[in-house]
Structure 1
Amino acid sequence: MEDIVEKVLSGDRRAIARLITMVENGHPGVREIMRELYPRTGNAHVIGITGAPGSGKSSLVNKMTAEYRKRGKSVGVIAVDPTSPFTGGALLGDRIRMQSHATDKDVFIRSMGTRGSLGGLSRATSDAVTILDASGKDIIIVETVGAGQSEVDIVNASHTPIVVLVPGMGDEIQAIKAGILEIGSIFVVNKADREGVERVIVDLEMMLDLAGYGEDEWKPPIVTTIAVRNKGIKELVDKIAEHMEYLKTTGDFDKRVRDRVESELKDWIREEGVDIVVNRLKEAGEYDALIEKMVKKEIDPHTAAIDAIKRVREG
């Protein structure tokens, strides 16, 4: 295991890929490896990209990666795809769309399945970010599945969350919905050569004005792009750099790091807690009996959960 740690720290692509696979599969030795890597993190700029399916997120990420490479930055991309119900693996395979970077040793691209995570990000995604950070990547882009409002956890997973909208898909309405406006530190209106682009921009500007940002607060800029033609990409990358500068100047960077760490802690406590309760009930021979009571409608799920936790606490 010490060997894989050293290889990941040196940026070895095969070792990075192997370790992410171990994380996804719940390999028993992975926690010790992550414990060793964690102190070597904190240098990467993590960018989150979310938006409705069909908004061109993958094309945008592809062009952003190329722009960052022009600027001498190494890049890691985690594309969170829907999970196949048959294999448990990522379904869309964004790596296929980013083949132009396949031979670049300073670019690492990985598709990961949501594995049923309601927030659009799999539990393994945060570990994958840690691995890429420890491997020395300057920029880490997390592209989410695009399920809409449930993806608010992208805020806690990145320093700079970006919401991608497109004309003609009802995004002007979607932007108004609770949660979506609060996600973005930058809004991108992609496919800006489509009819209706001005309407999307006006609606966004109106909502941002109503949000009442203070004079010293970061007011999310709106960047128009046509990703497939590489238009607006340089301007977007410039805005991302401005946002990071703002975070570091104002001290908000430390707050974002703290929020992300707290979110990770809660996620792992939740996951480990579920395992502890279920395993204890199984050991006591009470797990199946509790489920049977629920099937017979003798007890509701909430009461059953409270009872289960009480039984574990009482030993």
Structure 2
Amino acid sequence: MATWGRATLVEGVRAGDRRALARAITLVENGNPLAYELVRDVYPETGKAYVIGMTGPPGVGKSSLVSALIRRVRSAGKTVGVISVDPSSPYTSGALLGDRIRLADHFLDPDVFIRSMGTRGHLGGLAETTLQAALILDAAGKDILFVETVGTGQSEVEIVGIADTVVLALMPGSGDSIQALKAGIMEIPDVIVVNKRDHPAAKTMVNEVRSILSLDAERDWSPPIVLTEAVQEEGIDELWGRIAEHRAYLDEDGRLEARRATNLAGEVFAVASARARSHLEHAVADDAELGRVLDEVKGRRLDPLSAVREILEKVFHVGDSDTNRPDTR
């Protein structure tokens, strides 16, 4: 059995060794300091993989879509990495949906690496663990990375923020899909897929999506809508073609590099915000004086913004001058 130190892990990741990748991502999940050193060492070799984010409400068939797309990508001789981001169990801190039955067809393919990830109470949250895991698989030489999330909330939006192309999966007749449309998330996707295209309400959902997209006439790229039946792999070639079209669009005029630069900056702020919040929560929990400030707010003896000022001054030594007051609009 290999003894994984910093040097052997770096060498193993660069070689695409599956055991090294598994160990490296476990270190990432657990917030082990060695993970930061590892990512720092391999970071100069990243930026070659094309990252596809797959998001959408639970139960719409995202894993089935990813599985079908993997088969399509592998038929072209490309290597694949998959990060499936799951909610963590409050009892075991593991990934609740770790079985990923639909992806099981690819487990024995040496050129496909699949990993389910949970939060495990990580200081930087899922945005940080996903970013680090993606960088590790990128450095390992994977051509295509799929990042799949559960849900379409703020945390999921942050997770797919590392993606070059974001695919939003919806399902006709699904209340969650309708809610996703109403929640104003249509600025997120680059490609929209309506799965279960044989459903009687499929065409209706396509029309609803199209009408919502028409409200944003100023958008340079208009997300195409693809009807699929993922389990039967119907419509998958068209879906992959639409993803390829978006990649070609990004390759024009340096859009891809600009998007990646924006995404990386956004991820830095997302991770910093998550860490700052975690630090703040721990500080308030451990400090009787800060706890008193919160009690004052609860008792309506101190207004919330005054409490924010006191807490920030004590925890982060941040003043409240006009030059750094947050925009509360």
Name the aligned partner's letter for residue 308 of structure 1.
Answer: I
1:98 counterpart residue number: 103
The percent of aligned pairs where both chains have the same amino acid is 47
Change (3 A) 1:254 1:232: same
SS at match of 2:48: coil
The equivalent residue for 1:250 is 253
Maintained 8 Å contact 2:194/2:228: yes
Post-superposition shift, 1:23? 0.8
TM-score between the two structures when normalised by the length of structure 1: 0.88
2:69 counterpart of 1:54: no
Distance 1:300 1:124 in 2: 36
CA 1:94/1:160 → structure 2, altered by over 3 Å: closer, same or farther? farther
Secondary structure of the 1:29 match is: helix
Could you say which residue in structure 1 is the equivalent of 2:317?
A: 313
Match of 1:68 in 2: 73
Query: Among residues 13, 19, 33, which one is paired with 1:8 in the alignment?
Result: 13
How far 1:304 moved relative to its partner?
3.9
Pair 1:88–1:301, CA change in 2 (3 A): farther
- Looking at structure 2, the residues matched to 166 and 277 of structure 1 have their Cα atoms a distance apart, in angstroms, of 39
Q: 1:116 to 1:25 in 2, by over 3 A?
A: closer
Query: What displacement does 1:253 show?
Result: 1.0
1:92 to 1:254, Cα distance in 2 relative to 1, 3 A: same
130 and 149 in structure 1: CA distance in 2 versus 1, 3 angstrom threshold: closer
AA matched with 2:268: L
* Structure 1, 95-104 or 3-12: larger mean CA deviation: 95-104
1:208 equivalenced with 2:213 (yes/no):
yes
> In the TM superposition, what whole-angstrom CA distance separates every residue of 1:171-221 from its partner, at most 9, and x where no partner exists?
67435424311111000010111111110111122222232146xx22111
Aligned mate of 1:184, from 172, 184, 189 = 189
* Equivalent runs, 1:221-232 vs 2, <5 Å: 221-232=224-235
Tell me the alpha carbon deviations over residues 25-83 of structure 1, each in whole angstroms, 9 at most, x when there is no partner: 11122211111111110011100111111101111111111111001111111111111
Q: Could you list the per-position Cα deviations for residues 94-113 of structure 1 after superposition, in whole angstroms to 9, with x for gaps in the alignment?
A: 53331111111110101112
Moved more, 132-141 or 289-298: 289-298
- 2:162–2:260 CA contact under 8 A, matched in 1: no
Is 1:140 the counterpart of 2:140? The answer is no
> Does residue 1:43 correspond to 2:52, yes or no?
no
State the Cα distance separating 1:89 from its structure 2 match: 1.1
**Corresponding residue number in structure 1 for 2:325:** none
Change (3 A) 1:306 1:87: farther
Residue 139 of structure 1: CA displacement?
0.5
Conserved? CA contact 1:193–1:226, under 8 Å = yes
Verify the 8 A CA contact 2:126 2:155 in the aligned structure 1. no
Preserved contact between residue 79 and residue 94 of structure 1 (Cα < 8 Å): no
CA pair 189-273 structure 1, distance change in 2 beyond 3 A: closer
Deviations 1:225-278 (A, max 9, x none): 100001111111111111111001132212211121111221333345456667
Contact 2:49 2:145 in 1 (8 A): yes
1:263-305 per-residue CA deviation (whole Å, 9 max, x = no partner) reads 12213333454566678x69xx972332244246465665444
Q: Which residue of 1 aligns with 2:91?
A: 86
Structure 1 stretch displaced more, 239-248 or 303-312: 303-312
* 2:148 maps to 1:165: no
Report the secondary structure of 2:78's partner residue. coil
Contact 1:152/1:179, CA 8 A, preserved across alignment = no
Q: Compute the displacement of 1:156 (Å).
A: 1.9
Q: Residue 192 of structure 2 aligns to a residue in which SS?
A: strand
